[in-house]
Chain A
């Protein structure tokens, strides 16, 4: 059954706004999604009803914060089908989750970390930084069809690889890496696997137990949750072995002037006073997405992507980034108009029809540099986008291309 998009759109206050008497057409969800009123209400609920400290204060408000935070943790656990609540560590965002691991895994000189050629800077720089300490970072190049190349991956895989840290769904072109096969191969070689789930978690059905993935990092702001909140999932036995990355208030049971007794999971990784409103809002977002159903979301996005892909087919000077088939690119349409700056196109579409798309290198500079490109225009779709908006996008892009003839 298809999504009732019109009903869903009612939940997003910003979509009711107009600028220059035209509605906003938001197609930048790969950068940040819009938030439904349910999430906004949940954030406000914290500030209005129990704006106090969690984990420390025994009064009624403090207890309520603890309850709501744990409720949220439980929702996230269900959302990705983790086994235990302790496996859900709240972070600031995906970037912090990956940095936490890069600084805690204890990788040594000569250890190899494998990534793809489409890594976001957040899943590239933490490992490049370790490279200066002797850890080797190697890149698995995509195949000719711009998809993940399992052959190239197997070629790189050997006993020296200690961690495979890969993007699950690329924010550059929407392609998805075959996580299950990657995990299986990595485990056969005694390597751990971290998935950058910033794009996949909000758009794609994901079950950490079925994937058997060791770690998964994702952000709230890309899944209708608040900004400044994210999650690092890790298998309990693995997280237990890791030393705390950041320490401070909330991470310890007791301290003397010279020693500390650390908390159990997940608190040992959640240093300092937490972003309670963020955590609680994130729970609200996960609940909202579960109600809609990830399968429905993915299906809707692919249908829209197909509509856009067919619409722009044959456009002069237009070249798509990634595979030609829409179903292989989720909700992302990344493209270039030969000889024209991506920023110019994005700004004109915004100016003409309030179409919000992203332009530039999308934090995947390494890929663009390797392909000698400045960047691309990226339209990224989500559940609140409609076929009519896609048609408007195609029509406006055509006008922009005509203008630039």
Chain B
């Protein structure tokens, strides 16, 4: 049975180093022979047994004696553990594919296979006075930047911060959602600048509205994320120039803090209903906090679409 464990271990190691491939091949031969009810002739099982017990002998002779004596049984235990953990992994991957989370329909549970989590980016940018409980829903105002028709069955409102890395992390998924669902959804972006942790967030948010008045909100929005952290006056004007906006009008707008009240009111509204960090999404009222996978969003959106909004 040790050969089965050796096969898995050395096959994985063999991906990285050729020296393990021969042993993996031997292990495969051994496993194949055992499956076909023949004796393992490579001697790999005995070699592994000797190597393991030989090493143990140096430090714990008594333990080594027991390992030697019950080696086959120990191998069986490890094999069963291996099979169980492998089966559970397959089950988790299937869940990830179906529900967008390893653990099935519980989206917030920990999932090792989640690409966002595996990159170590799970989380959100929180404000200092966070309460941690969202008790209401954001409303859409006429001056909010929107993609999608007003009568779409599903409305997704994102409360985001241009300088928050987690908001940036969610950008590709948001883009994917918009392109995948098209006119079936309406996407609204609201400012929730986490200025305490990310200086410049307020200025970036105001700048985005200066671009909005010239009809290039979304271009400017994505440019801010692409150049995240660059929030100096000159830099913000430079982005406008790159988008062929009227830089004089833009500079004036930015310098006069024309949209400060809009950004402040977005923030206040969100804060009042308990939003504590970015990105926070409201999908027809359902709250999703942090950058999630497309599959997780899809699960909720599809349910909403099926319910007819």
A19 at the A/B interface (Cβ < 8 Å)? no
Q: When the two chains form their complex, are residues B51 and A347 in contact, meaning their CB atoms are under 8 A apart? A: yes
Asked if B57 CB lies within 8 Å of chain A CBs, one says: yes
Chain A neighbourhood of B54, CB < 8 A: 347-352
- Cβ-closest chain B residue relative to A348: B54
Does B50 sit at the interface, judged by CB under 8 A?
yes
Segment touching A, from B61-69, B137-145, B221-229? B61-69
Interface centre among A343, A344, A402, A405 (most CB of B within 10 A): A344
Asked if B49 and A344 sit within 8 Å, CB to CB, the answer is yes
When the two chains form their complex, are residues A347 and B61 in contact, meaning their CB atoms are under 8 A apart? no
B58 close to chain A: CB less than 8 A? yes
B208 within 8 A of A: no
Whether B46 contacts A351 by the Cβ 8 Å rule is: no
**Does B167 count as interface, using CB distance less than 8 angstroms?**
no
Find out whether the CB atom of B50 lies under 8 angstroms from the CB atom of A343. yes
The 8 Å CB contact of B47, one of A347, A400, A404, is A347
Residue B53 interfacial (CB < 8 Å): yes
Are A343's CB and B68's CB within 8 A?
no
- In the complex, per-residue mask of A251-295: 1 if CB is within 8 Å of any chain B CB, else 0: 000000000000000000000000000000000000000000000
* Interface-central residue, B51, B53, B55, by most chain A CB under 10 Å: B53
With both beta carbons as reference points, the residue of chain B lying nearest to A399 in the complex is identified as B57
Partner of B50, one of A351, A399, A402, A405: A351
**Cα–Cα distance between A405 and B69 once the two chains are bound (Å):** 8
Chain A residue nearest to B58 (CB atoms) is A352
Does B309 touch A at the CB level, under 8 Å? Answer: no
CB of B43 closer than 8 Å to a CB of A:
yes
Q: What 1/0 mask marks residues of chain A from 13 to 49 whose CB sits below 8 Å from any chain B CB?
A: 0000000000000000000000000000000000000
Roughly how many angstroms separate A346 CA and B65 CA in the complex, as a whole number? 17
Smallest CB separation, B56 vs chain A (Å):
9
**A404 and B50 contacting across the interface, CB-CB below 8 Å:** no
Q: A346–B43 Cα gap in the complex (Å)?
A: 13
Residues of chain A contacted by B49 (CB below 8 angstroms): 344
Contact B51–A351 (Cβ < 8 Å) = yes
| Contact across chains for A348 and B47 when beta carbons are under 8 A apart | no
**Distance between Cα atoms of A341 and B49 in the complex (Å):** 11
Cβ B61 vs Cβ A343 within 8 A: no
Scan B64-88; emit 1 where CB is below 8 A from any A CB, else 0: 1100100000000000000000000
Known pairs A352-B58, A399-B61; A404 contacts B46 (CB<8 A): no
Whether B57 and A347, one on each chain, are in contact in the complex, defined by CB atoms closer than 8 angstroms, is no
Residues of B within 8 A of A350 (CB): 54
> Interface size on B (CB < 8 Å)?
15
Q: How far is the CA of A132 from the CA of B72 in the complex (A)?
A: 46
Given contact pairs A351-B51, A403-B64, A403-B65, A343 touches B58 in the complex (Cβ within 8 A): no
Chain B residues with Cβ below 8 Å from A402 are 65
Interface residue tally for chain A (C-beta within 8 Å): 17
Complex CA gap A350/B58 in Å reads 12
Q: Is the beta-carbon distance between A344 and B50 smaller than 8 angstroms?
A: yes
Q: Give Cα A348 to B64, complex, Å.
A: 11
| Identity of the chain B residue whose Cβ is nearest the Cβ of A405 in the assembled complex | B65
- B66 closest partner in A (C-beta): A403
Q: How far is the CB of B159 from chain A (nearest CB, A)?
A: 60
Q: A403-B65, A403-B68, A404-B68 are in contact. Are A348 and B57 (CB under 8 A)?
A: yes
Q: How far is the CB of B67 from chain A (nearest CB, A)?
A: 9
| Contact status B50-A348, CB under 8 Å | yes
Closest partner residue, chain B, to A360 (CB atom): B43
Residues of A within 8 A of B58 (CB): 351-352
Restricting to A340-380, which residues have a CB under 8 Å from any CB of B?
Answer: 341, 343-352
Looking at A351, A400, A404, which has the most chain B CB atoms within 10 Å of its CB?
A351
A361 to chain B, nearest CB (A): 12
Question: Could you tell me if A403 and B46 are in contact, using CB atoms closer than 8 angstroms?
Answer: no
Residue contact B47 to A403, C-beta cutoff 8 Å: no
Name the distance in Å between B114's Cβ and chain A's nearest Cβ.
42
Residues in A whose Cβ lies below 8 Å from that of B51: 347, 351
Chain A, Cβ-Cβ closest to B50 = A347
Give bound CA distance, A151 to B249, whole Å.
118
Contacts of A346 in B (CB 8 A): 50
Chain B contacts with A in 12-70, Cβ cutoff 8 A: 43, 46-47, 49-51, 53-55, 57-58, 61, 64-65, 68
**Interface core residue of A347, A350, A403, A405 (most chain B CB under 10 Å):** A403
Whether the Cβ atoms of B53 and A403 lie closer than 8 Å is yes
Q: Assuming A403-B64, A403-B65, is B53 touching A348 (CB within 8 A)?
A: yes
Q: Which of B49, B50, B51, B57 has the most CB of A within 10 A?
A: B50
B54 to chain A, nearest CB (A): 3
Q: Give the distance in Å from the alpha carbon of A349 to the alpha carbon of B61 in the complex.
A: 14
Q: Which residues of B contact A348 (CB under 8 A)?
A: 50, 53-54, 57
Partner of B46, one of A344, A352, A399: A344
In the assembled complex, which residues on chain B have CB atoms less than 8 Å from the CB atom of A405? Answer: 65
Contact, CB under 8 Å: B65 / A343? no
Contact flags (1/0) for A386-405 with B, using CB distance below 8 Å? 00000000000001101111
In chain B, what residue has the closest Cβ to A350? B54
Which A-chain residue is minimally distant from B68 (CB atoms)? A403
Complex contacts, A351 vs chain B, CB 8 Å: 50-51, 54-55, 57-58
How distant is B44 from chain A, measured CB to nearest CB, in Å? 10
> Closest Cβ of chain A: how far from B50's Cβ, in Å?
4
* Known A351-B51, A405-B65; 19 more pairs at CB < 8 Å: A341-B43, A343-B46, A343-B47, A343-B50, A344-B46, A344-B50, A347-B46, A347-B50, A348-B50, A348-B53, A349-B54, A350-B54, A351-B50, A352-B54, A352-B57, A403-B53, A403-B57, A403-B61, A403-B65
Question: Which 10 interchain pairs have the tightest Cβ spacing?
Answer: A351-B54, A347-B50, A348-B54, A344-B50, A348-B50, A352-B54, A344-B46, A341-B46, A403-B65, A352-B57
The chain A residues found within 8 Å of chain B, CB to CB, are 341, 343-352, 399-400, 402-405
CB pairs A–B below 8 angstroms (19 shown): A341-B46, A343-B43, A343-B46, A344-B46, A344-B49, A344-B50, A347-B50, A347-B54, A348-B57, A349-B54, A350-B54, A351-B50, A351-B57, A352-B54, A352-B57, A352-B58, A402-B65, A403-B61, A403-B64
